[in-house]
A and B are shown apart, each in its own frame.
Chain A
């Protein structure tokens, strides 16, 4: 049973527009959510996180929104840049334990 799902394997957007990456989870015990970015031949790097006591967290061009009732979170990138092209992983943890990752979404930002 996959507890963290990213239903869109890929997303393509034009430079300067908004990128919206989505993530759904099933485990109501998850209380901390993270997004990681991964370039080819590199390990994932942390991007942004949100605690379940919040519904929004912003860091520069990146904003994560959490809808606990829907068990859904999204990552907004505005404006999108070609350097944002990468695989994005959503992750979730419960009680400060280990993280469970989604399958990833490949974002392509076209110049």
Chain B
């Protein structure tokens, strides 16, 4: 059974703080993704990674960076948190690039920036 685990369910951070959101998957998936979900805007892709140390920008990368040092772990970094980054953050993984396959999501992290 695939498991994608996000380190926190809820986070409250102050404006200007550097924030780390961690995600770990246990099924040896090649692809990992970070999305944010906002009311009326659906899921928007922030960054994704097809392999260790590889990353590509998604649709809304501004204000974010990522790190993938190990295959199972994908971190999202908010360099200087702002109130407009208050959102639900969802990590996902999927098997291999080049295959049509579904994504498996973590439980989400509700981040509030005050």
Taking Cβ atoms with an 8 Å cutoff, the residues of A that contact B are 6, 9, 31-32, 34, 36, 41-46, 49, 51, 89, 91, 93, 96, 98-104
Contacts and interface: CB of A to CB of B under 8 A. Distances in A.
B102 A43 contact: no
Interface residues of B, number: 26
Interface in B85-114: 90, 92, 97-108
A24 B106 CA distance: 26
Given A42-B107, A99-B103, A104-B43, 8 more contacts: A36-B102, A36-B105, A42-B108, A43-B90, A96-B99, A98-B45, A98-B58, A100-B45
A68 B88 CA distance: 33
A45 B41 CA distance: 18
19 contacts: A34-B102, A41-B9, A42-B107, A43-B92, A43-B105, A44-B43, A44-B90, A51-B100, A89-B42, A91-B43, A93-B100, A96-B99, A96-B100, A96-B101, A98-B45, A98-B48, A101-B43, A103-B40, A104-B42
